[in-house]
């Protein structure tokens, strides 16, 4: 069941409660190792502390005032228009309701508005990430590279790419 639009808010500014909300989102998803959780939280905290000077951009979705999905992305250093999608996650209680797609589309619009032309996303080849890889393919990202044993033995890094335009 989709979330009613009147119950949902999309925002790009980091607020003080976001680091804790992101921690809960990341943990609940079941996709990330315990050592990855503080990295996600640190990036959001940096966005709160430094704003755009952090070099990171964000999209958050709130449902009835609760932050339940987010993405963190940014211009890849030493490039002119290539962006990395560093994190995208939805709280387990809200998965399957279309919020991930909304967040991803908002990221694409933001990147295009910022003058970006390409979004790069990396993920793992492990079976648990099959829904993640299918999500990227469904949203017109192309698998462009695979690096064997990148994260660990038998855990390849898979890179997806999509060109974006300003008419999204």
Dist CA 47 CA 56 (whole Å): 6
Is residue 83 helix, strand or coil? strand
Q: Taking 50 as the threshold, does the pLDDT of residue 44 lie above it?
A: yes
Domain limits of the chain?
5-163
Give the residue-averaged pLDDT of 117-121: 98
Q: How confident is the model at residue 5 (pLDDT cuts 50, 70, 90)?
A: low
In this prediction, residues 140-157 reach a mean pLDDT of: 97
User: In this structure, are residues 155 and 124 in contact, taking their beta carbons and an 8 Å threshold?
Assistant: yes
- Paired tokens of 135: 């999500």
Strand partners, 143: 160
Digit-coded pLDDT (tens) for 130-145: 999 999 999 999 999 9
Q: Which CATH architecture has domain 5-163?
A: 3-Layer(aba) Sandwich (3.40)
CA 129 to chain CA centroid, Å, is 14
Single pTM value for the model: 0.92
Order of strands across the sheet that contains 66-75: 8-11, 57-63, 66-75, 82-90, 118-124, 155-163, 142-152
**Residue of 111, 104, 115 whose CA lies nearest to 138:** 104
What are the start-end ranges of the E strands in the chain?
8-11, 57-63, 66-75, 82-90, 118-124, 142-152, 155-163
């Amino acid at each position: 069941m989709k979330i009613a639009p009147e119950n949902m808010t999309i925002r790009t500014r980091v607020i003080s409660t976001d680091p804790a909300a992101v921690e809960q989102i990341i943990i609940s998803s079941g996709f990330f190792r315990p050592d990855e959780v503080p990295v996600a939280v640190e990036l959001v905290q940096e966005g709160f502390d430094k704003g755009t000077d952090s070099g990171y951009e964000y999209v958050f979705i709130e449902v009835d005032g609760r932050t339940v999905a987010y993405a963190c992305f940014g211009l890849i250093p030493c490039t002119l228009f290539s962006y990395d999608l560093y994190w995208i996650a939805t709280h387990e209680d809200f998965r399957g309701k279309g919020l991930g797609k909304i967040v991803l589309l908002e990221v694409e619009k933001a990147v295009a508005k910022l003058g970006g032309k390409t979004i790069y996303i990396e993920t793992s080849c492990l079976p648990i990430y099959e829904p993640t890889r299918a999500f990227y393919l469904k949203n017109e990202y192309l698998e462009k590279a695979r690096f064997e044993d990148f994260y660990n033995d038998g855990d390849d890094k898979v890179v997806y790419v999509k060109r974006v335009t300003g008419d999204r």
